[in-house]
Amino acid sequence: MPVSKEPVAVVGIGQTKHVAARRDVSIAGLVREAALAALADAELTWSDVDAVVIGKAPDFFEGVMMPELYLADALGAVGKPMLRVHTAGSVGGSTALVAANLVAARVHRTVLTLAFEKQSESNAMWGLSLPVPFQQPLLAGAGGFFAPHVRAYIRRTGAPDTVGSLVAYKDRRNALKNPYAHLHEHDLTLEKVQASPMLWDPIRYSETCPSSDGACAMVLTDRTGAARSPRPPAWVHGGAMRSEPTLFAGKDFVSPQAGKDCAADVYRQAGITDPRRELDAVEMYVPFSWYEPMWLENLGFAEEGEGWKLTEAGVTELDGDLPVNPSGGVLSTNPIGASGMIRFAEAALQVRGRAGEHQVPGARRALGHAYGGGAQFFAMWLVGSERPAT
Amino acid sequence: MPAAPVPEVLSAPLVVEFPFTRSLGPVQSAFLTGLRERVVLGVRTGDGRVMVPPVEYDPVTAEELRDLVEVAPTGTVTTWAWNDHPRRRQPLRTPFAWVLVRLDGADTALLHALDAPGPEAVSTGMRVRVRWAAERTGAITDIACFEPDEDRGAPAVAPAPHDGVFTDPVTGIVAEARLDYTYSPGRAQSAYLHALGERRTVGERCPDCRKVYVPPRGACPTCGVATTEQVEVGPAGTVTTFCIVNIKAKNLDIEVPYVYAHIALDGADLALHGRIGGIPYDQVRMGLRVEPVWTDGGRHPDHYRPTGEPDAAYDTYKELL
């Protein structure tokens, strides 16, 4: 008889208050805040943790090459296994999945996982635009890279050009209900979003993510640990990662195959056949507003070409029947290295009933999603309020 | 088309450098500000040891450490390595020893440079003292280096408690990082670049899926096999998608607004990226037919301009976005 996986529970979640610059703390001090908050949520101490799995943005982004070495004492990892995961912008998601797999495989019982970034100490636009010899410098940063793909989506689907602004306005409004979100734009109106400067046409300023300092941590544990948890855990019902090359003939940047395959794997593990009906909330990685309708299709919530209709109809609003990014999402908070883990953590908060003002009432199943690189790394998990059958 | 003779593989220096900033947090702030004031601070751990340089968190218990103490500017070399060829921005320009120094009152050692006439003058256990920099800013370089001290034996120093409070504390530093690489684009891209020198665009065809890669990478990323068959493509092509860039990037000498486009050259199976000119930016559209515009001395086309042909039908390029 095959040995089944150990069910994995999220029993502790911690975030820093994300801001443009945390000049009052070192990187060690920043990660420490998130880790302590997660331990406090779980009512555990450093000695209860068996291993630490850490992720962060690409090294050039902040010039820290070996965070696992630098941060071992700050994260109570001395004498324990500690490892680092590296998958560009999806890293927060894949870091959580590596940690979850260590528990599922019964390698460790309780794992602290954490992801961070201090964008204020570097410049991501510089980090994405190294002066590689013999190449023609044409572009700097991520916005210009993704904007042509957004145009392709609009052309392919015939979406009205206002859809992006609807997403941005929704996510920024949701962020007002999330005390940890970076942007709290109380005076923002839809008209202001639509009148904001066009940076990389068709992407406007208010449809882009901010640059944030922040960290997110989670405590993952087994059934025994979950039984001791003082608060309801979130249970991992499925998790998967997929990769593909940055560029290849036939690559579909609008809806990458790796994203579709990753979602299909997660739904299969979780026994989901109709994600639109069976999921109660989604935290997806939307750094530019149009990625909401694009990912709605890629993740199977809408038929191809139909994602924008869900957004336009209000389905993805906090009170819609498929709330997307109740936390305010990446559009409101973007410490790049942590952004994927924040998606995973926010999904878990929803099914634990602990999302506070941005709680989706009665959420029982939620998806956390991250992507990175040239839309080439995907990481997702599906969490639920009930323990999965073993 | 037969494989062309193997051309010279290109290489060039790639320098990656950036002035990263670092917020220090309370402990490193006190330590570096102390150096500015010629005070060396350590931190006391839960088991009573004194760590110099100080850390924020206890290496044994992980508890927060804030119990600062002042140690002496003299100490003992615990180990060393001779550096015969000092490099750019190292502490001394003449040959010196890298040393680990346990300052009197500390239980751990600090890495720094020792100014000594030669390796014969350096030994583990030797006594050294701090040589302070004349101008101090709140940085590890405020210790210019260590220098040999008269051997009076290590004194029994009881580190004195210190509140770590200084006027005008240093709260951040700039940590300039620089990496020097030799970059080579490899055989396939070198051949591509050589052909561009003749104003020809030459890709490579995958022997399995028959797709033509421009620029070629020497292997098909889908099939995982080497590509060698060279295929000239273009010169004209189709704009498959694009954006209008309205913000000027610091490291780019291109006037905004400009159009950054994906261009599928005729015969290529994926789009390359280029700038569109010779047409007002707001008239560029998907399907626009374009051709390269070369400038003297340019390795790549400066930009692409409309050919005047009718736009390509969407169905002819929709797989090449």
In-domain check, residue A19: yes
Per-residue burial over B39-61, b if 16 or more Cβ lie within 10 Å, else e, is bbbbbbbeeeebbbbbbbbbbeb
Looking at the structure, do residues B147 and B191 belong to the same domain, yes or no?
no
Same domain for B116 and B246, yes or no, is no
Mean pLDDT, chain B cut into blocks of 10 residues (321 residues total)? 67 92 96 98 96 96 96 97 94 97 97 98 97 97 96 81 96 92 93 94 96 94 94 96 90 87 96 95 97 92 97 94 86
Q: Is the domain of B162 the same as that of B236?
A: no
DSSP3 helix / strand / coil % (chain B, rounded to 5): 10, 35, 50
Question: Exposed, middle or buried: residue A185 (CB in 10 Å: 0-12, 13-18, 19+)?
Answer: middle
Whether B235 is covered by a domain: the verdict is yes
CB contact under 8 A, A26 and B275: no
Look-up of token digits 């324990």: A80
Distance of alpha carbon A261 from alpha carbon A241, whole angstroms: 9
Contacting residues for B87 by C-beta, under 8 A, at least 6 apart: none
Task: Return the CATH number at A69.
Answer: 3.40.47.10
Give yes or no: residues B144 and B203 share one domain: no
pLDDT of A235 strictly over 90 = yes
Beta carbons of B320 and B243 less than 8 angstroms apart: no
Write the pLDDT tens digit of every residue in A168-222. 999 999 999 999 999 999 999 999 999 999 999 999 999 999 999 999 999 999 9
Nearest C-alpha of chain A: how many angstroms from B243?
Answer: 5
Q: Please count the structural domains in chain A.
A: 1
Q: Please give the single-letter amino acid code of residue B280.
A: P
Q: ipTM value of the model?
A: 0.93
Residue A50 has pLDDT above 60, yes or no: yes
Note whether residue B2 is domain-resident. Answer: no
What's B64's DSSP letter? B
Indicate whether A387 belongs to any domain: no
From B170, B203, B219, give the residue that closes a domain: B170
For residue B201, tell me if it sits in a domain. yes
Asked if A158 has any chain B CB less than 8 Å from its own CB, the reply is: no
Predicted pLDDT at A328: 98
Compute the mean pLDDT over every residue in chain A, rounded to the nearest whole number.
95
pLDDT of residue B6: 59
Count of structural domains, chain B: 2
Task: Round to whole Å and give the CA distance between B111 and B124.
Answer: 14
> Is A132 contained in some domain?
no
In sequence order, the 6+-apart residues with CB closer than 8 A to the CB of B235 are B199, B200, B201, B265, B291, B292
Which among B119, B143, B170 is the end of a domain? B170
**Contact across the interface for A253 and B321, Cβ inside 8 Å:** yes
Q: Which of B114, B146, B170 is the last residue of a domain?
A: B170
Q: What is the DSSP string of B209-225?
A: T-PEESS--SB-TTT--
Residue with tokens 């004031």: B37
**Structural domain boundaries, residue A60:** 9-124+211-228
- Chain A nearest-CA distance from B200, in A, is 16
**Number of helices (H), then strands (E), in chain B:** 3, 19
What is the span of the domain harbouring residue B116? 25-170
Q: What is the pTM of this model?
A: 0.95
If asked whether residues B239 and B147 sit together in one domain, one would say: no
* Domain assignment present for A137: no
- Residue B9, domain member (yes or no): no
Q: Is B180 a domain residue? A: no
Quick check: is A92 in a domain? yes
Q: Are residues B105 and B202 in the same domain?
A: no
Question: Does residue A52 belong to any structural domain of this protein?
Answer: yes
**Chain segment A346-383, per-residue pLDDT in tens:** 999 999 999 999 999 999 999 999 999 889 999 999 99
Q: Cβ contact (<8 Å) for B23 and A123?
A: no
In a domain, B177, yes or no: no
- Confirm whether B8 is domain-assigned: no
Among B243, B265, B282, most A C-beta atoms within 10 A, so best to mutate, is B243
Q: Tell whether B140 and B189 lie within a shared domain.
A: no
The answer to whether residue A362 sits within a structural domain is: no
Domain assignment of residue A20, yes or no = yes
Give percent above pLDDT 90 in chain A: 88
Does any domain span residue B202? yes
Q: What is the 3-state secondary structure (H, E, C) of A248-264?
A: CCCCCCCCCHHHHHHHH
Is the same domain home to B79 and B212?
A: no
Is residue A253 within 8 angstroms of chain B, CB to CB? yes
Residues B54 and B135 in one domain: yes
Q: Are B62 and A76 in contact (CB < 8 Å)? A: yes
Q: Are B35 and B53 in contact (CB under 8 A)?
A: no
- Report the residue of chain B nearest A146, measured CA to CA: B243
